[in-house]
Amino acid sequence: MSILIKNGRIVTAVDDYVADVFIEGEKVTLIGKDLKVQADKVIDAKDRLVLPGGIDPHTHFDMPFGGTTSADDFASGTKAAAFGGTTTVIDFAIQSKGESTLKGLDAWHDKASGKATIDYAFHMIITDMPDERLPEMRKLADEGVTSYKLFMAYPGVLYVDDGTLYRTFRQAGDNGTRICMHAENGIVIDEIIKAAVKDGKTSPKYHALTRPTRMEAEGVHRAISIAEVAKVPLYIVHLSSSDALEQVKMGRARGVDVIAETCPQYLFLDQSYYEREGFEGAKWVMTPALREKWNQDELWQGLKFRDLETIATDHCPFCFKDQKEMGKDSFTKIPNGAPGVENRMSLVYNGGVVSGRISLNRFVELTSTAAAKAFGLFPKKGTIAVGSDADIVIFDPNRKETISVNNPHTHHMRVDYSAYEGFEVQGFTETVLSRGRVIIEKNELKTERGGQFIKRALCGSLLR
């Protein structure tokens, strides 16, 4: 099968020009002006942007968490991602405490295999890493799992102590792999939560009020210090606050190999959402919590000046009915997380490019290229170039949509609310190719499944 995409404006992290893209099989094989080639299918992309498919390096499909399981599985979640212009996700396999990480990886392969519409990879969530288990980390890397997430939050669940952090960081550094860190001082936060609950402070807003930004900043500071000593490249996930960003800047200023991710929720939503009437605030109970609005400008500044390097969603949806409602009597029982995998590209294009905060090239870098480089997917993914996978999004920069759980164009996620209900966005995904297959054409699903597990290369350094 060959496809010719004609007359589009090709935008990568560094390029911006009008040309044709020729695809044979899974790969881009030719790019040029007015290509004279025979193609099985021709797509006219005049007045459209032709972008590298989005890469969302932080999703949680089919994840057991908070006494329930995230509402999207690998079938529904990857389909929704595709509609939104994302062609690769990096999800998280989880090690059960005391068990083999490789067994955890197998379990996640079983969850995903044969279901995904787009390509996917895994980070490994490490919950336990005694010395004798350290050699498994090399095996994981051989299996294409070249980054590991560890948690300073959620004591008794995913939390690991500083000794485990150090051991794991050392091994990851030696192996040429990367550490992803959920940086929040969960031990102190748990004490704050206990005191709040004792005082009868149990409504959703106390989720935010018991997780001060200083405790996020402390976690970031500690992670950076340990990574510096252990000599491992570090990636701070879902950074939410100015206080935490300050720590990233300080680490980078002294030469530590640390990059950080933020998410649309921290750029577009704020703590006032928890003040919604009744129990509605539960929809935005996620960790880290939404912050005071002024933090948003600081995060945009961080994106512009490259202290923040990627925008991921941390898509972890729970239905309001029955799932979020588990915490009706106490915010501590609300499963943490929110949906967003489908809305990322439009939100960031609208809030970043249309609003004049970032350039079009930076938009591509933040939503695709930087994640590919940080996590061993580049140049297979994250750009449009001869030899790269034909993961391509044809994007209408002018089309407007109102994001809503009731808008069939913006909501394919299997969850009963939208975190961005009523947001009007300009810029919308129209047609999507995944390794040369047209999966979405003019906003209609054409091919399901066919997504593959991608073994990632080592991702040891910022320079890869």
Binding residues for ligand URP, rule: CB under 6 A, are 60, 182, 286-287, 314, 316, 336-337
Residue 451 gets the label, from left (phi > 0), alpha (psi -120 to 50) or beta, of beta
Nearer to Zn ion, 361 or 404 (CB): 404
- Could you give phi then psi for residue 138, rounded to 5 degrees? -65, -40
Nearer to ligand URP, 66 or 302 (CB): 66
Minimal distance in Å, beta carbon 40 to ligand URP?
A: 42
Q: Least distance to Zn ion from the beta carbon of 389, Å?
A: 25
Residue 334's alpha-carbon distances to 169, 283, 285, 325, 417, in angstroms, are: 31, 9, 7, 7, 15
Looking at this protein, which amino acid is placed at residue 457? A
Q: Considering the complex, what minimum distance in angstroms separates the CB of residue 245 from Zn ion?
A: 17
Nearer to Zn ion, 314 or 342 (CB): 314
Task: Tell me which of Zn ion, ligand URP, none is bound by residue 252, counting a contact when its beta carbon lies within the kind-specific cut-off of 5 to 8 angstroms.
Answer: none
For the CB of residue 237, give the shortest distance to ligand URP in the complex, in Å: 7
Alpha-carbon dihedral angle through residues 345, 351, 352, 353, given to the nearest 10 degrees: 90
Phi then psi for residue 217, to 5 deg, are -60, -40
- By C-beta, is 72 or 314 nearer to ligand URP? 314
Phi, psi of 163 (to 5 degrees): -65, -45
Binding partner of residue 336 among Zn ion, ligand URP, none, CB cut-off 5 to 8 Å per kind: ligand URP
The option from Zn ion, ligand URP, none interacting with 177 (CB < 5 to 8 A, set by class) reads none
CB closer to ligand URP, 207 vs 437: 207
Whether 28 contacts 35, CB under 8 Å: no
3 state SS of 57: coil
Would you say 27 or 409 has its CB closer to Zn ion? Answer: 409
How near is the Cβ of 211 to ligand URP at its closest, in Å?
A: 11
* Site for Zn ion, rule CB under 5 A: 182, 314, 401, 409
Instruction: Dihedral sign for Cα 453, 59, 137, 131, please.
Output: negative
Decide which of ligand URP, Zn ion, none touches 409; Cβ closer than 5 to 8 Å per partner kind: Zn ion
From Zn ion, ligand URP, none, interface partner of 337 (C-beta below 5 to 8 A by class)? ligand URP
Amino acid at 94: I
Half-sphere exposure of 221 (CA within 13 A, CB side): 11
